[in-house]
Amino acid sequence: MQCTVSSPSLLDNPCITSTGWGALADVLLPASSSKLKSLSLGVEDDSCLFYDAGTDTISNGEIIINDDAVFRFANALATNFSLKVLDFGCFYEITRTGWNGVINAMLNTSSIGNTYNSNHTLQDLRVGYQGVPNDVKALVRRNNNQNKAAVARQKILDCHLSDFEASIHMSHGNETFTVCFRLDRQRS
């Protein structure tokens, strides 16, 4: 008999420590075997890292999240290719620095390869009163395209090939032609 946990809720359980969260993540969240569809967290200690977890939803309830916690979730998000919904609940201490961590997870512009390997699966980012900044909303909306290869291609075009120039040299018989073109794209 196989037992499957699909939607555990750990709300209002402040006794779980960072070590406990790590152990739970190791047991419940391995990408190859996880059956989780949602995971609700509501704890005092927000140091749990979710690495390439096979979950569809992570929620932390109503605890206040700060930049450090957002960075930890963002680092996990960068390597997670199955998470579709991330719910931070209500929070008040997220600055531009914290949101930049989320942006980097979804659109790492340091190289074409890193942009390609960014997160293209997060489709819904939920927060409380503070709201999600418009640039983060735009990235989440872009990820709603079910064709993840198209999402990755568009991010690469927008970030690395927005202004592209090329020359093509062709010969036909005794004649040589040079065709020059420039692709100017506005970044979204």
> What CATH number is associated with residue 101?
3.80.10
Total of domains in the chain? 1
Instruction: Give the pLDDT confidence of 155-175 residue by residue, as tens digits.
Output: 998 888 766 666 677 777 777
| 172 domain residue, yes or no | no
Domain encompassing residue 46: 9-161
Q: Which two tokens stand for residue 57?
A: 């939803």
**Domain contains 175:** no
- 181 within a domain of the structure (yes/no): no
| Tens digit of each residue's pLDDT (9 = 90 or more) over 41-84 | 543 344 443 433 455 555 554 445 667 777 777 777 777 777 77
Q: What is the mean pLDDT of residues 110-124?
A: 90
Q: Is the pTM of this model over 0.75?
A: no
Task: Please state the rounded mean pLDDT for residues 123-149.
Answer: 87
How far, in Å, CA of 176 to CA of 159, rounded? 34
pLDDT at 145: 93
171 part of a folded domain? no
Whether residue 112 is contained in a domain is answered as yes
The pLDDT of residue 31 is above 90: no
DSSP letters for 112-169:
HHHHHTS-----EEE-STT---HHHHHHHHHTTSS-HHHHHHHHHHHHH-SEEEEEEE
Residue 103, domain member (yes or no): yes
Q: What is the DSSP letter of 110?
A: S
Residues paired with 90 in a beta bridge: none
Does residue 179 form part of some domain?
no
How far apart are the C-alpha atoms of 105 and 165, rounded to whole Å? 29
Q: Which two tokens stand for residue 179?
A: 């065709």
Find out whether 145 and 153 touch, Cβ atoms under 8 Å.
Answer: no
Task: Determine, yes or no, domain membership for 24.
Answer: yes
DSSP letter for each residue of 63-105: ---BHHHHHHHHHHHHT-SS--EEE--S-SB--HHHHHHHHHH
Specify the DSSP element, H or E, that contains 182: strand 175-184
* φ and ψ at residue 63, rounded to 5 degrees: -75, 155
